[in-house]
Structure 1
Amino acid sequence: MKNPITIDELQRLLEDEATRAEALADYFEYLPTGPFTGEYRLRNEIKVVKHEPVDAESSSEAESLINIRDFLITKANGLARGVRDKLFEERKQDGERIVIVTEGDSWFQYPRFKPAGIPLSKEVKDVIDYLIEDERFAVKSLGGAGDVIRNMFHMSEYLDAIEQYTPKAFVLSGGGNDFFEVFPRMVRKGSIDDIETFLKTTWLTEIEVIRTYYKGILQILTTEFPELDIFVHGYDYIMPRPDGKWIGRPMIETGGLTRDEDRKGLIKFIMDKFNRSIEELSEQYEKVHFINIRGTVPQDPQFWHDEIHPNDYGFRLVADKFIAQLEEVLIRAN
Structure 2
Amino acid sequence: MISPGELRQKLINPRVPDSELRDLVLLDEESRDNFEPLFRANPDTVDIRSMALDGLLAGVNRVARERRQLQYKLRVNNPFFRGQKIVSEGDSWFQFPLILQDVIDQLFRFNPLDPLDGLDGYAVFSLGAAGDLLRDIVNEDEITQAIEAEKPEVFLISGGGNDLVADGNLANFLNQFDSEKERTPEDYINEEFDVFLREIIQLYRDIFIRLLSRFPNLKIIFHGYDYAIPNNGNSLGKPMETRDITDPDLQKDIIRVIIDRLNEAQISLIEDVQFAGLVHHVDYRGVVGDNNWFDELHPNDKGFKAVGNIFDKKIKDITRR
| Shorter-normalised TM range | 0.7 to 0.9
Cα offset for 1:250?
2.6
Q: Does 1:101 align with 2:90?
A: no
Describe the shift of the 1:214–1:244 C-alpha distance in structure 2 as closer, same or farther (beyond 3 A).
same
Cα offset for 1:263?
1.6
Cα offset for 1:46?
6.4
Q: Does 1:184 align with 2:183?
A: no
The sequence identity of aligned pairs, in percent, is 33
Cα offset for 1:98?
0.7
1:240 to 230, 253, 257: 230
Cα offset for 1:203?
1.3
Given that residues 127 and 319 in structure 1 are in contact (C-alpha distance below 8 angstroms), is that contact kept between their aligned partners in structure 2?
yes
1:124 to 100, 108, 114: 100
Describe the shift of the 1:36–1:283 C-alpha distance in structure 2 as closer, same or farther (beyond 3 A).
farther
**Normalized against structure 2, the TM-score is what?**
0.80
RMSD: 3.0
Q: What is the one-letter code of the residue matched to 1:99?
A: K
Larger Rg, first or second structure (1 or 2): 1
Per the alignment, in what secondary structure is the counterpart of residue 229 of structure 2? coil
Q: What is the one-letter code of the residue matched to 1:184?
A: A
Given that residues 34 and 146 in structure 1 are in contact (C-alpha distance below 8 angstroms), is that contact kept between their aligned partners in structure 2?
no
Structure 2: stretches of 5+ with no match in the other structure: 43-47, 110-117
**Corresponding residue of 1:59:** none
1:202 to 192, 199, 208: 192
Query: 2: CA distance between counterparts of 1:237 and 1:21?
Result: 27
**Corresponding residue of 1:263:** 251
**Normalized against structure 1, the TM-score is what?**
0.77
**Corresponding residue of 1:276:** 264
For 1:263-312, what per-residue CA distance to the aligned partner results, in whole angstroms no more than 9, with x for missing partners? Answer: 221111111111111111122202111111112111x2x21101110111
Given that residues 236 and 293 in structure 1 are in contact (C-alpha distance below 8 angstroms), is that contact kept between their aligned partners in structure 2?
yes
Aligned length: 292
For 1:186-226, what per-residue CA distance to the aligned partner results, in whole angstroms no more than 9, with x for missing partners? Answer: 33324553323323321111111111111110010110000
Per the alignment, in what secondary structure is the counterpart of residue 102 of structure 1? strand
Q: What is the one-letter code of the residue matched to 1:263?
A: Q
Query: 1: CA distance between counterparts of 2:229 and 2:235?
Result: 11
Structure 1: stretches of 5+ with no match in the other structure: 49-63, 112-121
**Corresponding residue of 2:65:** 81
Query: 1: CA distance between counterparts of 2:316 and 2:138?
Result: 27
Describe the shift of the 1:148–1:192 C-alpha distance in structure 2 as closer, same or farther (beyond 3 A).
farther
Query: 1: CA distance between counterparts of 2:126 and 2:249?
Result: 36
Q: Does 1:310 align with 2:299?
A: yes
Per the alignment, in what secondary structure is the counterpart of residue 172 of structure 1? strand
